[in-house]
Structure 1
């Protein structure tokens, strides 16, 4: 979690100037867009982060709508001269004046969420952005704060925008930094400069952005000489944003792995997760999986995505030591009761990888919840921790799953592509695919028993 104080000097703008010369950004392209929607958590964020883009869109005849989440009444919490109620009125008027300077034809919605309270009211922004995008006929660019910007409202606004855009055909997202310029540093930047995009601002556009920022005197100048009334965006802060180039971060089209929160919500609704005990499909698939194991006994087994531990319990009858992992905490509580002979740990793949060496790794019904990058990294993790005489067992559902990132067939094909040896077992039927991938010292069952030369 980033913590910062805007009253501190922060990073010297000249340090960023030097750094930015080394960045090779993609250009921000506005051609072909039917509309642009700018998400601003507070009045002035739209100007600081995307004022040049708004003005450029106006010059190109592209309709712009600004969604303002809060009125920014919390900008001066220690002021003894100006109340939050007064600031709410002042900043609302400043916002409307600034947007008119950038684009007289732009429209705006003020959602009225309490300043600092977007985490408690994300659905207000979610509904407004969803409705706005649904009204656009054609490609739309959404511009929102970078999710890592360090301010809670900025993070939530960015997360909501990313989620909505991901589910909206024809929409794409650019993220803008505001406070990262202040607390981050070019020596070891946290911001994703490898996916930077830049919009060059002609002098006339930059002049409009500067005028729009000047329309926020409550932020750019002290409210009074009293302590607590200092400018929030003083000249040093403003210098980050008044460059001749406006900077954004592109959001990859590559899907993300299914989140821990989504699994938590699933187990809140269905504590048993899936019908592992009652379903004949599940019981039969489990029996096929266990029958496919080429050895009768294993030293150490790792089950990734063990859920409520039904398969884990069966593995304890085939291995001396069994460790089950799952991204969610709720199913592990049930798994510990169901399989008391096993060990369990909450872990997300592939980053939270358990220590140890294994001669059996089971990945059952979990690979298609991983992004392509995370699936590759998980395969690498397995290869790095599997004993030479060990095997990876992968079993996946072959039908559509609304919560999956990819398909079971794609997961099976990718594991086979990355694995150094051909599958020892590959069982394919209409409902699921099962593969057993061997380590370098694994031989066939018949060869081990001396039944073949």
Structure 2
């Protein structure tokens, strides 16, 4: 989880504009909304739906789609030290503001869709502890057929946003819904260079009518955009520099089409797989796997490395070989079940640490430039393109000067996931690394890439 407050200076909007945030691939409304495909918009607090998705709501309604908004909390904790407004009073104010804001987004034209909303009244700041209540509301709202779920970005950095977005991603995959995620605080704490995932997102163009409707809806959330009183504790939560991120000519969304998976369900997916079959890819018995492992080890340019990090260690078969050529090994996997098996296999290797993490966002706590070898084998296609870019950026940051990044992936189709092995390797070409080893055959491709600098630079 990133650490920030609304009082931080944040990333200037000019940096996002210069990086091209308004020039992203277009999100075509006809592809995601219409009379036959309603929108269910999830919001952690009143105003999230307005900041992140007001334009989408307005245009979907104008196109005749039904839109249902579910707001999980009343946002009563926005001013915890207010000397003038109790949480109960603030909750009432914010729900009233929500109704006015949504009213501003409702087109008054023939053929416009219907807009409904509900508030769940769950405790502000505690959505992670109330997932069953939110899940029940989402299932009820989507019970009559396929919808497009719209939710806060699951890695937005705010605990409520992340909890709601993660739940939405899991349910979208389970129920076959499409998913649009809208960032809010991400624009505040992230930067275009260090967080490259945004470059894979989509932009919904806002026409003049929609832009004006969104501005009116934003202004309706007066308790957030203006001071509650002259007291310092009642200062506006959303400063003008922050609001600028939501005055663009387009709204930005992370789009997951129906039927595709990404890291959101990685732990549950792979835990279930390993529980059913302890060695699902036959690492221990397959002649192909033994040969590929031998080629992997023979391809390493050094006989021994200092610090090694293996991402996606599974049951630890390759890990055991890597441990014999490393001073330290950090092996990571999304499956706790697989790690239990890996722990048995690594018994006696006191220089090996096993870590449960769902990559790339649950990144291990390693110092920049500390890893001499990072191994990414057979996991890249289990990530969406934006997640893979972030993974590579973190790998590059972790590598020491002259360090090696080893990639190895299956080249045949991978059903149900966003990418294939060729795409995974192609995405690494822009990292500025030197190719030290390239091995390609019918079934798999293996590359060892070297970071500039160091004694091998």
TM-score (structure 1 length as normaliser): 0.65
Structure-2 residue corresponding to 1:178: 184
* Cα 1:251–1:275 shift into 2, 3 Å: closer
Secondary structure of the 1:120 match is helix
The CA deviation string for residues 278-297 of structure 1, in whole angstroms up to 9 with x for no partner, is: x9x989937997799999xx
Q: Does 1:214 align with 2:222?
A: no
Secondary structure of the 1:232 match is coil
Whether the aligned pair in 2 keeps the contact of 1:258 and 1:370 (CA below 8 Å) is: no
Secondary structure of the 2:50 match is helix
Larger Rg: 1
Structure-1 residue corresponding to 2:129: 120
Whether the aligned pair in 1 keeps the contact of 2:283 and 2:289 (CA below 8 Å) is: no
Alpha-carbon distance in structure 2 between the residues aligned to 1:355 and 1:184:
24
TM-score (structure 2 length as normaliser): 0.65
Alpha-carbon distance in structure 2 between the residues aligned to 1:165 and 1:12:
33
Q: Does 1:99 align with 2:102?
A: yes
Secondary structure of the 2:128 match is coil
Alpha-carbon distance in structure 2 between the residues aligned to 1:226 and 1:123:
38
Q: Does 1:152 align with 2:159?
A: yes
Structure-2 residue corresponding to 1:27: 26
Listed as ranges, the gaps of 5+ residues in structure 2 are: 108-113, 393-398, 426-436, 449-457
Shift of 1:325: 4.5
Alpha-carbon distance in structure 2 between the residues aligned to 1:184 and 1:436:
33
Structure-2 residue corresponding to 1:7: 7
The CA deviation string for residues 127-162 of structure 1, in whole angstroms up to 9 with x for no partner, is: 32233223235xx33222223332221122222222
* Cα 1:241–1:405 shift into 2, 3 Å: closer
Whether the aligned pair in 2 keeps the contact of 1:257 and 1:405 (CA below 8 Å) is: no
Structure-2 residue corresponding to 1:446: none
Alpha-carbon distance in structure 2 between the residues aligned to 1:283 and 1:60:
52
Shift of 1:9: 4.9
Alpha-carbon distance in structure 2 between the residues aligned to 1:192 and 1:74:
29
* 2:144 aligned residue (128, 135, 153): 135
Structure-2 residue corresponding to 1:250: 254
Listed as ranges, the gaps of 5+ residues in structure 1 are: 387-391, 427-434, 440-453
Shift of 1:40: 0.9
Q: How does 1:253-332 map to 2 (within 5 A)?
A: 253=257, 255-256=261-262, 261-262=267-268, 274=277, 285=285, 325=331, 327=333, 328=335
* Cα 1:406–1:21 shift into 2, 3 Å: closer
Alpha-carbon distance in structure 2 between the residues aligned to 1:186 and 1:292:
37
Q: How does 1:49-448 map to 2 (within 5 A)?
A: 49-103=52-106, 105-136=114-145, 140-169=147-176, 171-185=177-191, 192-202=198-208, 204-243=209-248, 245-253=249-257, 255-256=261-262, 261-262=267-268, 274=277, 285=285, 325=331, 327=333, 328=335, 335=342, 340=347, 344-346=352-354, 370-371=382-383, 420=439, 422=441
* Cα 1:421–1:28 shift into 2, 3 Å: closer
* Cα 1:77–1:420 shift into 2, 3 Å: same
Whether the aligned pair in 2 keeps the contact of 1:165 and 1:173 (CA below 8 Å) is: yes
Secondary structure of the 2:68 match is strand
Shift of 1:99: 1.2
Alpha-carbon distance in structure 1 between the residues aligned to 2:253 and 2:245:
16
Whether the aligned pair in 1 keeps the contact of 2:312 and 2:331 (CA below 8 Å) is: yes
Shift of 1:264: 8.8
Whether the aligned pair in 1 keeps the contact of 2:46 and 2:98 (CA below 8 Å) is: yes
Shift of 1:249: 2.5
Alpha-carbon distance in structure 1 between the residues aligned to 2:324 and 2:19:
56
* Cα 1:127–1:183 shift into 2, 3 Å: same
Alpha-carbon distance in structure 2 between the residues aligned to 1:242 and 1:258:
30
RMSD: 5.3
